[in-house]
Amino acid sequence: MSGKRERKKKEETAAVRVLKISAVVIGAYLYSQVLTGLIDISSRSNISADFEAAADAVNMPEARPLIALEEAPRLSYDAFGNMYQKKYLNKETDILKDTQILSSSVEKGDKRESVFVVSQENDYSEIMTNEGNVGYVRTSALTDNLEYIFDEADMTKYAKANTFVRRAPFIDGEEAGKLSLNTKLVIKGTNDMQFWQTEYKGETVYVDKDDLMDKPKVIAPVQPKSSGGGYIGTWDGRKLTRSNGTIMGPSGKETYYNLRMNYVVELMHDAGFQGEYWVRSDGVKMFGDYVMVAADFSIRPKGTILPTSLGMGIVCDTGTFIYTNRYQIDIAVNW
């Protein structure tokens, strides 16, 4: 009697498996009909077997897909309303008949091919392919997102100013760091998506490919130009001092200010201007060989070289003073 019960149990198990696989195939068919607009599910909470014939649906006026294919949810429903997750193969792999070591292959799965996960057993997932075959692959060969599938690469790129590297290949991925202009990156993985794979401080991260350059950006020196006074040489008029806090210099009205310049210098470097920050013996703050100047960027863009009463200056900063006098300049000092 025990032998008969055991055979009956195995037969029931096999029958359940056949029903399960059949349900998945039917579900995939229904799902494909939804994507092609042959079934209207706008008034139904589940897909059921009660649907119009395909020929009738085609003849319906303005029959069209309910959603774009690329926007389709990564889910499939079977005839009983069961839901299966859509995943992608992250590499070319054999889809096996079972989970045995010497199992035969039922199909060759291509990298980035979409499949539907039926169940998971230990290190293996049971899947259904687009060809309707059901088999097994290692769970590690599956991913939820195409963004995580990369083709191996080894190329050097350079970051644009203020480029972020992220811990996930999405625009809202957690920031791992901010790169300055011309930061060198070695790209380890590419794909047709927006983010590529690289390394940052020993960590695998992702960077927007639109923020990369093939060559470092070279900022040509800005040619000295006058701004109203026509003066480029040594100034022999009144000079800006702590006691003479407002004067008319070679480029117009001059005033001074005393603030920390670390962030201003960082922004200059990010924009591609190379210079060392230091303070002259008379208290004037310098960027390389130039006096640091704040001005209206719409008239004198960042990096503009212009004469001041304290020497040749470079526009590094701006301020609220531009709303009362757009031609005024503010010189950075430690007074």
Q: Is 139 helix (H, G, I), strand (E, B) or coil?
A: helix
pLDDT at residue 54 is higher than 50: no
pLDDT at residue 309 is higher than 60: yes
Q: What's the average model confidence in pLDDT over 29-43?
A: 46
Encode pLDDT of 17-26 as tens digits: 555 555 555 5
Instruction: State the pLDDT confidence band at 203, using cuts at 50, 70 and 90.
Output: very high
pLDDT of residue 334: 95
Closest CA to 256 of 178, 194, 334: 334
| Cβ partners under 8 Å of residue 126, min gap 6 | 117, 118, 119, 120, 134, 135, 136
Q: Residue 285 CA to chain centroid, in angstroms?
A: 38
The mean pLDDT of the chain is: 79
Q: What's the average model confidence in pLDDT over 221-232?
A: 42
pLDDT of residue 11: 52
* Helices marked H in the chain: 2-35, 54-59, 262-270
pTM over 0.85: no
pLDDT of residue 68: 35
User: Could you tell me which residues are beta bridge partners of residue 152?
Assistant: 189
Encode pLDDT of 230-273 as tens digits: 444 578 889 999 999 999 999 999 999 999 999 999 898 888 88
Q: Please give the radius of gyration of the chain, using alpha carbons only, rounded to the nearest integer.
A: 34
Residue 308, judged by CB atoms within 10 A of its CB (0-12, 13-18, 19+), counts as buried
Kindly list the domain boundaries of the chain, sorted by start residue. 1-81, 147-213, 247-332
CATH homologous superfamily of 147-213 = SH3 Domains (2.30.30.40)
